Amino acid sequence: MDPHSPSTRDLGPTADNASEVHNPSIDETAAAQGACAQVYLPTGAMCTLRHGHDGSCEFSPAVGADAVLAKHKADEHW
């Protein structure tokens, strides 16, 4: 077995320790508030629905995402 093969060398943090992995497609501030916070990277639009929501994401433009997130939180009591 080749010790330099990608399957045998240490590739860093794993899914078992996901807290060590930074995901650029998640807005960490919004996620900490309970939002899905998935970001569509080409536009910066963010899903403002609750984390773990059913169905597809609801992306809001980056400019107004904070206001939409606050409205969802107030309307849905989360």
* pLDDT exceeds cutoff 60 at 19: no
Q: For the whole model, what pTM was predicted?
A: 0.66
Cα(48)–Cα(7) distance, rounded to whole angstroms? 38
What is the average pLDDT across 64-72?
93
- Residue pair 39/46 in contact (Cβ under 8 Å)? The answer is yes
Classify the C-alpha dihedral 70-76-77-78 as positive or negative. negative
Question: Domain extents for the chain?
Answer: 15-76
* pLDDT exceeds cutoff 80 at 63: yes
Instruction: Tell me the pLDDT of the chain averaged across its residues.
Output: 81
Confidence (pLDDT) at 78: 86
Cα(31)–Cα(10) distance, rounded to whole angstroms? 29
